């Protein structure tokens, strides 16, 4: 394990981070989710705390959960639960980082009882969830808002489109088809974008290192804002 210098660049800052995948229930025993492990969000939370931030980690389903000393973890299931948990802490937050893989759709109805295998086929009707990041962008005041973008093609185009549409300060984009990037691994390959375009293109590195680089960019923006 590599050790990283811990300049306390986020001393006293209130940081809200979302991690993991959301769970959208079909019935009492079944749900829709995705491959997110939560590792990127947990690495961000740990690094921000080490830099002196007051961290709240709002976590959906994760593969493994390291206990992080001094971090307030709030567990949520659905996109709507996550929205509520983030909004409750939004007004006082200095930095919000949306690394969670939020479901884009949820079942229109949630059966009260276990769905029985009556027919030869079953069609699920899904509806859009609320876009949490977009909602935060619309209500943004002092907060530095950081979003993620998981793409398989036209990375820069889609990343910049998300940054603008969701009114983010930074977008961390990764090509999830690239080896060592994205879901369920300990490494990532990302590019960081701001309103000015590409800020940093990082090589393959551990999610901890990536977390440090993202928070460096956030600290830089905070500093220019405070000057």
Residues marked as catalytic? 34
Among 20, 21, 41, 147, binds ligand CTP (CB under 6 A): 147
63 within 8 A of 37, measured Cβ to Cβ = yes
Segment lying near ligand CTP (by CB under 6 A), choices 43-51, 60-68, 94-102, 204-212: 94-102
- Choose between 9 and 135: whose C-beta lies nearer to ligand CTP: 135
- Choose between 71 and 86: whose C-beta lies nearer to ligand CTP: 86
Q: Looking at the chain, list the stretches that DSSP marks H as alpha helix, in order from N- to C-terminal side.
A: 39-50, 79-87, 132-138, 155-165, 207-226
Q: In whole angstroms, give the CA distance from residue 44 to residue 53.
A: 11
- Token pair of 171 as six digits: 């977008």
Matching residue, tokens 């006293």: 12
In angstroms, what is the minimal distance from the CB of 104 to Ca ion? 4
120 within 8 A of 103, measured Cβ to Cβ = no
Helix axes 207-226, 39-50, angle to 10 degrees: 50
- Is 162 annotated to bind a ligand? Reply is yes
21 touches ligand CTP (CB under 6 A): no
131 touches ligand CTP (CB under 6 A): yes
Among 91, 104, 138, 161, binds Ca ion (CB under 5 A): 104
The binding site for CTP comprises 104, 114, 148, 162, 166
């Amino acid at each position: 394990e590599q050790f990283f210098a811990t300049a306390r660049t986020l001393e006293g800052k209130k940081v809200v981070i979302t991690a993991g995948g959301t769970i959208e229930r079909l019935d009492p025993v079944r749900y829709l989710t995705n491959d997110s492990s939560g590792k990127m969000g947990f690495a961000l939370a740990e690094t921000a705390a080490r830099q002196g931030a007051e961290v709240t980690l709002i976590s959906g389903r994760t593969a493994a959960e390291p206990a992080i000393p001094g971090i307030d973890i709030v567990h949520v299931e659905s996109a709507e639960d996550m929205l509520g948990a983030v909004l409750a802490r939004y007004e006082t937050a200095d930095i919000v980082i949306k690394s969670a893989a939020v479901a884009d759709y949820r079942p229109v109805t949630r059966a009260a009882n276990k769905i029985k295998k009556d027919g030869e086929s079953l069609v699920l009707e899904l509806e859009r969830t609320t876009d949490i990041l977009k909602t935060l962008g619309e209500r943004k005041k002092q907060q530095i808002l950081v979003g993620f973008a998981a793409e398989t093609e036209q990375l820069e185009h889609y990343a910049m489109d998300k940054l603008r549409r969701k009114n983010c300060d930074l977008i961390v984009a990764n090509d999830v088809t690239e080896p060592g990037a994205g879901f369920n691994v300990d490494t990532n390959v990302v590019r960081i974008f701001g309103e000015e375009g590409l800020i940093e293109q990082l090589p393959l590195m551990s999610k901890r290192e990536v977390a440090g680089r993202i928070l460096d960019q956030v600290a830089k923006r905070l500093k220019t804002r405070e000057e």
